[in-house]
Amino acid sequence: MIAPSQIDMRSRILGLDHEVPLLDGRRVPYVNLDNAASTPPLIDVVRAIEAFMPYYSSVHRGTGFKSRLSTVAYDQAHEIIGRFVGADLSTNTVIFGKNTTEAINKLAWRFPHDPDKVIITTQLEHHSNDLPWRAHANALHVRALPDGRLDEAHFDQLLEQYAGRIALVTVTGASNVSGFLQPIHRLARKAHAAGALILADVAQLAPHRRVDMLPDDDPEHLDFVTLSAHKMYAPYGTGALVGPKEFFLREAPEYRGGGTVDVVTLDEVKWAGMPDRDEAGSPNVVGAVAMAVAAKVLMEVGMEAVAAHEEHLIAYALERLRDVPGIHIYGETDPARAHEKVGVIPFTLEGMSHFLTAAILGYEGGIGVRSGCFCAHPYVVHLLHLDEGEATRWRDQLVAGDKSEMPGMVRASFGCYNNTDDIDRLVEMLHRIARRDYQGDYILDRATGEYRPRGFEEPLGEYFLLEELRRPTKG
| Residue 42: DSSP 8-state | B
| Short-list 206, 198, 251, CA closest to 100 | 206
340 falls within a domain? yes
| CA 250 to the chain's CA centroid | 29
39 falls within a domain? no
| Short-list 94, 339, 131, 338, CA closest to 229 | 94
| Short-list 180, 236, 212, 188, CA closest to 303 | 212
The verdict on 140 and 285 lying in the same domain is yes
pLDDT at site 202: 98
pLDDT at site 472: 61
The verdict on 204 and 117 lying in the same domain is yes
Q: What is the distance between the alpha carbons of residues 30 and 43, in angstroms, rounded to a whole number? A: 17
Q: How many CB atoms lie within 10 A of CB 132?
A: 24
Helix (H) or strand (E) holding 293: helix 285-301
| Highest mean pLDDT out of 252-256, 263-267, 329-333 | 329-333
Please give the average per-residue pLDDT across 441-459, as a whole number. Answer: 95
The verdict on 277 and 398 lying in the same domain is no
The verdict on 267 and 309 lying in the same domain is no
Please give the average per-residue pLDDT across 63-79, as a whole number. Answer: 97
**pLDDT band for position 469 (50/70/90)?**
confident
List pLDDT tens digits, range 296-318.
Answer: 999 999 999 999 999 999 999 99
- Quick check: 283 pLDDT over 90? yes
- Quick check: 244 pLDDT over 60? yes
CA angle, residues 429, 431, 432, in degrees to nearest 5? 65
* CA distance readout (Å), 265 to 254, 261, 269, 280, 361: 19, 11, 6, 18, 60
Q: What is the distance between the alpha carbons of residues 19 and 196, in angstroms, rounded to a whole number? A: 51
142 falls within a domain? yes
**pLDDT band for position 2 (50/70/90)?**
very low
- Quick check: 1 pLDDT over 60? no
437 falls within a domain? yes
The verdict on 204 and 163 lying in the same domain is yes
**pLDDT band for position 259 (50/70/90)?**
confident
Instruction: Tell me the chain's radius of gyration from C-alpha atoms.
Output: 23
287 and 237 Cβ atoms separated by less than 8 Å: yes
Sequence-ordered list of residues with C-beta below 8 angstroms from that of 389, at least 6 positions apart, any chain: none
| Short-list 314, 302, 308, CA closest to 343 | 314
List pLDDT tens digits, range 168-188.
Answer: 999 999 999 999 999 999 999
Among 273, 300, 327, the domain boundary falls at: 300
Among 300, 315, 340, the domain boundary falls at: 300
471 or 326, which is more confident? 326
**pLDDT band for position 404 (50/70/90)?**
confident
Decide if 416 is catalytic: no
Among the residue ranges 41-45, 118-122, 397-401, 418-422, the one predicted with the least confidence is: 397-401
Please give the average per-residue pLDDT across 38-56, as a whole number. Answer: 98
pLDDT at site 6: 64
State whether the Cα torsion 267-273-277-281 is positive or negative: negative
Bridge partners of residue 244, in order along the sequence: 92
The verdict on 275 and 200 lying in the same domain is yes
pLDDT at site 473: 54
468 falls within a domain? no
Q: Is 99 exposed, middle or buried (0-12, 13-18, 19+ CB in 10 A)?
A: buried
- Quick check: 5 pLDDT over 80? no
The verdict on 122 and 253 lying in the same domain is yes
List pLDDT tens digits, range 357-375.
Answer: 999 999 999 999 999 999 9
pLDDT at site 179: 97
List pLDDT tens digits, range 125-163.
Answer: 999 999 999 999 899 999 999 999 999 999 999 999 999
Structural domain tally of the chain? 2
| Short-list 15, 22, 19, CA closest to 361 | 22
* CA distance readout (Å), 208 to 34, 168, 282, 421, 456: 14, 25, 31, 20, 37
The verdict on 290 and 306 lying in the same domain is no
> Please, what is the average pLDDT of the chain?
95
Among 250, 274, 300, the domain boundary falls at: 300
DSSP secondary structure of 364-415: HH-EE-EEE-TT-HHHHHHHHT--HHHHHHHHHHHHTT--TT---EEEEE--
Please give the average per-residue pLDDT across 7-21, as a whole number. Answer: 94
Coil, strand, or helix at residue 76? helix
The verdict on 418 and 283 lying in the same domain is no
Please give the average per-residue pLDDT across 41-49, as a whole number. Answer: 98
- Quick check: 392 pLDDT over 90? no
Catalytic residue among 142, 196, 375, 383: 375
List phi, psi (to 5°) of 396: -65, -40
The verdict on 273 and 314 lying in the same domain is no
- Quick check: 440 pLDDT over 50? yes
* CA distance readout (Å), 114 to 117, 127, 198, 314: 5, 23, 17, 43
CATH number at residue 414: 3.90.1150.10
Q: Which amino acid is at 126?
A: H
Q: pLDDT above 70 covers what percent of the chain?
A: 98
2 falls within a domain? no
Q: What is the distance between the alpha carbons of residues 204 and 172, in angstroms, rounded to a whole number? A: 8
User: What are the helix (H) ranges across 39-175?
Assistant: 43-52, 65-84, 100-110, 131-136, 152-161
pLDDT at site 188: 98
pLDDT at site 94: 98
442 falls within a domain? yes
CATH number at residue 175: 3.40.640.10
Q: How many CB atoms lie within 10 A of CB 216?
A: 13
pLDDT at site 278: 93
The verdict on 17 and 101 lying in the same domain is no
**Preceding omega of 275 cis (within 30 degrees of 0):** yes
Coil, strand, or helix at residue 67? helix
| Short-list 192, 257, 244, 258, CA closest to 220 | 192
List pLDDT tens digits, range 321-352.
Answer: 999 999 999 999 999 999 999 999 999 999 99
Among the residue ranges 87-91, 383-387, 449-453, the one predicted with the least confidence is: 383-387
365 conformational bin, left if phi > 0, alpha if psi -120 to 50, beta if neither: alpha
- Please report how the helices 43-52 and 285-301 are oriented relative to each other, as an axis angle in degrees rounded to 10: 140
106 and 96 Cβ atoms separated by less than 8 Å: no
Residue 97: domain span: 46-300
- Quick check: 475 pLDDT over 60? no
pLDDT at site 468: 85
91 falls within a domain? yes
The verdict on 61 and 175 lying in the same domain is yes
